[in-house]
Structure 1
Amino acid sequence: MPATTDQPALDRAHALVLTWLASLEERGVPPTASVAEVVARLGAELPDGSTSPEDVITHLAAACEPGLTAMPSGRFFGFVIGGTHPAALAADWLVSAWDQNCGLRAITPAHSAVEEVAEAWLLDLLDLPPESAVGFVTGGTMANFTCLAAGRDEVLRRAGWDASIQGLVGSPGVRVLVGAERHDTVDLALRYLGLGLPEAVPADAQGRIDPAALRAALEQSDNRPVMVVLQAGNVHSGAFDPFNEAIEVARAYGAWVHVDGAFGLFAGASPTRRHLVEGVEAADSWATDAHKTLNVPYDCGLAIVRDRAALRAAVGMHGDYLIHDAAGEPFDKVPEISRRGRAFTVWAVLRALGRDGVAELVDRFCDHAAEMARGIAEIDGAEVLNDVAFTQVCASFGSDDETRAVVEGMLADGTAWMTGSRWHDRAVLRVSVSNWSTSEADVARSLAALRTVAAGRGR
């Protein structure tokens, strides 16, 4: 098929993308069609004949548009997922068009070069050890998985057990200690790794691990190798574990220390917020999501491991049919061989914003969250439940039923998306600020809608 036949479909897709982006300012955030309704619009039967690519794109967009949530909108405050910065979006179009399988240096020198540069920029920006390796994985879950795989195998290796050869059956096992309010994906990654449920260490009212309780737990040694998982950014409060104290305690017991920093690790990029992650550089590994605070498209987590050899031993592989480079391969740092060019979008955002721009982005998120908290606190009967030190706000509007009514009312109103959750045995409305495009006007408009909905709660 000649390349020129791509043109109509690409032109149509480009026009539809611009129309979608232009609609975000005024459209409601929630979708207006159900799964079943979108299926009906798509058509459930696979046709016998072919359809032109241009017509396929036209049909796909028309069928799906009512079922789309305006996640790129500046008024989407759910799940800490960010938006997509224009430079990253444009770079992602190139990624798909270039169609590079980015596992090998010799085959994809362009991506390997961009990955090297982006890796160095990230480590410098976050003030992490420059010798560390950065693996570009699918998201936060796999970033945690990759880092914890390196930690699991390394602490077992120190105990005289090679998990890569001997597996886990018959091994000394690994003891994993986590804060009581760690994110659920930490437990999921540990389950994938065959390590089972971790031991929960008490946390304070904001979800920060208690170093004294961590020490007490570690003193109850059963002679297994140990990993300790800390947190940069509690999903409800936004709080950060006390890294200096907790890492010092963990080090005294020979533990591998991993930090789940899905959205909070980028506090290190801001001079005014860097104190939140003071001491985090002393850990062994760090996980974050570039599609959260850094605002690249989905499918881009970052697994950062200080010991490159430990990471390669845990997730690397060898194949005689592959073209190996003495400098090492991109797939030595991730669980996948076939993968898209994730580093292109990360490089694009970092290059577009620069060091000062990333710091300003983080600060703006925090400032908007603080303004949200102030506005919510002024609503009759509302209570902000967390210390708003970063990008998260949790609020109650009275009883659990009243709070749930506000959550449901906001979704029905459609002006902004704010999710419900449960924290400290209370129903809460949770606001997560992580979109580059959120403006002061978006915050004011969302608070106005919240005031209106809250005034009618329980009715």
Structure 2
Amino acid sequence: MKELLTMTAERAICYLQSLEARRVAPTRDAVARLASFDMPLQDEPTSPESVLQQLDEIGSPATMAMAGPRFFGFVIGGSLPAALAANWLASAWDQNSGLYNITPATAALEQIALGWLLDVLKLPPESGGAFVTGTTVAHFTALAAARHAILEKVGWNVEADGLFGAPPLAVIVGEEAHPTMLKALGMLGLGRNRVVRVPVDGQGCMRVDALPPMTNLTIVCAQAGNVNTGAFDPIRQICERAHDAGAWVHVDGAFGLWAAAAPSRAWLVEGIEDADSWATDAHKWLNVPYDSGVAFVRDQHALRAAMAITADYLPTTSACRNPADFTPELSRRGRGVEVWAALHSLGRTGLSDLIERTCRHARRFAEALAAAGYQVLNEVVLNQVLVSFGTSEITMRVIDDIQTDGTCWCGSTVWQGHTAMRISVVCWATTEADVEQSIDAILRMAAKHRQQT
């Protein structure tokens, strides 16, 4: 075991050290070699060393360099050194982290990490929380608590009796709500198509003046950080309108919630503490390994009522919190371990600097591309930049070329009728030099197509 894990660590270190120099996207030849994995399952065992060698020599070259400093797609960060190391150690612990009495170390670390998160994200300290796979399941978890709380007030036990015959709930979302929100609503039986969509402004923010009438059977889903523009819904005003009617407000803060930790960006989240539940990802701006999402619910009793589990064979009686009582899963890894390690290694100033620095990088992208005569479509208030290089066809050619070139990786989007390159900056390892190198590559590709028109 020692020799195998040492070899694995050495190979992982070589992989990480190669990210600075390698192309971001894998080559076609590297992807083609993946076919060699597809072999008949042999009858006899294969040595673990040989298995790891094959994974590294064939698999590593075919990966996207998401852990590197020049991947700007999908709001994906890398892994902080402390978080990655903690993830390795927690995997060695191999704890099924559902019950405190069985796995006290991971359960305790999760509880502490949740408290730290509530603090740095400036959410109500009495809130309950749950570590889950990502924002999709965080939405599911928080909205299940909302469903419980709303129906309990009108005398309906949804966990026991289901939705058949229950008072119908109304759900309001912004026109540019993220699809993970709609997926979560579908899984909860609240419907993807039953939602009422509210018009948005020129940056994708929900218009408060367009909110429909609400009741105590309404859930409003607001957004902190539009996935295209980074813009924030006016959450304080939404909460005021919703709470006057007795409605529940849930916030999609997959990456935008982290603005609370940065002094120059905290104004964006003003009033967010007035909401009733929140969802975010730690594998985005906190830069911990996949997968790591977090759900927060002000009424932690509603969260526990929606998620608690018991059985005769489970030692659920405990003086401390059982994580499984707050999450959809019983069997689960201790995701809070690397979150604890990331926050502990960064501290308040390190976390703030991470947010501020990457936002400055985004601003630099926008300024350089605008100065070169290309259209930046959004107000760059956070870490997202949308840029058009002319027509939809030309913009897509530039994106295809930059992805093929390999210097950096940026994705495409269509936002309010415009085809654009989307640049998302969240990685802890991205430097000013990485930004300048990427800008040069983008401008080089764009200039080639400008000359052709």
- Tell whether the structures are fold-level matches, with TM greater than 0.5: yes
The aligned counterpart of 1:95 is 90
Q: Which residue of 2 aligns with 1:14?
A: 9
Match of 1:288 among 271, 274, 280: 280
Amino acid at match of 1:379: A
The CA deviation string for residues 192-214 of structure 1, in whole angstroms up to 9 with x for no partner, is 00111211111111011111111
Q: 2:130 maps to which residue?
A: 135
- Mapped pair 1:369 → 2:362: yes
Aligned pair partner of 1:46 in 41, 57, 68: 41
Corresponding residue for 1:390? 382
2:446 aligned partner: 454
User: 1:327: how far off?
Assistant: 3.5
Gaps of 5+ in 2: none
Match of 2:427 in 1: 435
Could you report, residue by residue, the CA deviation over 1:26-85 in whole angstroms, capped at 9, with x for unpaired residues?
100001147972442324211111111111101111111221111111100000011100
1:419 aligns with: 411
In structure 2, what is the equivalent of residue 343 of structure 1? Answer: 336
1:235-384 counterparts in 2 under 5 A?
235-324=227-316, 325-380=318-373, 382-384=374-376
1:49 and 1:178 map into 2 onto residues whose CA distance is: 55
Contact 1:102 1:112 in 2 (8 A): yes
What are the ranges of 5 or more consecutive residues in structure 1 without an aligned counterpart?
1-5
Distance 2:447 2:160 in 1: 63
TM-score relative to the length of structure 2: 0.97
For each residue in 1:226-275, what CA deviation from the matched residue of structure 2 results, as whole angstroms up to 9, or x when unmatched? 00001110001000111111110111111111000000001111122111
Moved more, 113-122 or 259-268: 113-122
Moved more, 157-166 or 139-148: 157-166
Aligned-partner SS, 1:135: strand
Alignment partner, residue 170 of structure 2: 175
Cα distance per residue 1:324-373 (max 9 Å; x no partner): 21434111111001111101100001000001111111101110000010
**Distance of 2:270 and 2:431 partners within structure 1:** 29
Residue 385 of structure 2 aligns to a residue whose secondary structure is strand
Contact 2:142 2:279 in 1 (8 A): yes
Q: Post-superposition shift, 1:110? A: 0.7
The count of residues paired between Structure 1 and Structure 2 equals 448
Which is further off, 121-130 or 28-37? 28-37
Change in Cα spacing, 1:328 to 1:87, as seen in structure 2 (3 Å) is closer
CA distance in 1, matches of 2:309, 2:111: 20
Which deviates further from its counterpart, 151-160 or 76-85? 151-160
The correspondence of residues 35-74 of structure 1 with structure 2, limited to 5 A, is 37-74=32-69
Question: SS where residue 456 of structure 1 aligns?
Answer: helix
**TM-score, scaled to structure 1:** 0.95
Q: Give the corresponding residue for 1:189.
A: 184
Match of 2:203 in 1: 206
CA distance in 1, matches of 2:188, 2:38: 40
CA displacement, residues 277-319 of structure 1 (integer Å, 9 cap, x when unaligned)? 0000011100000000100000110001111110011111111
User: 2:146 and 2:177 mapped to 1: Cα distance?
Assistant: 18
Q: Secondary structure at the match of 1:457?
A: helix
Which residue is 1:233 aligned to? 225
Counterpart Cα distance in 2 of 1:34 and 1:240: 42
Verify the 8 A CA contact 1:156 1:173 in the aligned structure 2: no
Q: Give the superposed CA RMSD.
A: 1.3
Query: Which AA in structure 1 matches 2:313?
Result: Y
For residues 58 and 168 of structure 2, the distance between their equivalents in structure 1, rounded to whole angstroms, comes to: 51
Counterpart residue identity of residue 333, structure 1: F
Question: Secondary structure of the equivalent of 2:26?
Answer: coil
Please say if residues 262 and 288 of structure 1, whose CA atoms lie closer than 8 Å, have aligned partners that are also in contact: yes
Q: Provide the rounded CA distance (Å) in 2 between the counterparts of 1:168 and 1:38.
A: 49
- Preserved CA contact (<8 Å) 2:111 2:321: no
1:24·1:73 contact (CA, 8 Å) conserved in 2?
A: yes
Percent of aligned pairs sharing the same letter: 49
Letter in 1 for 2:348: R
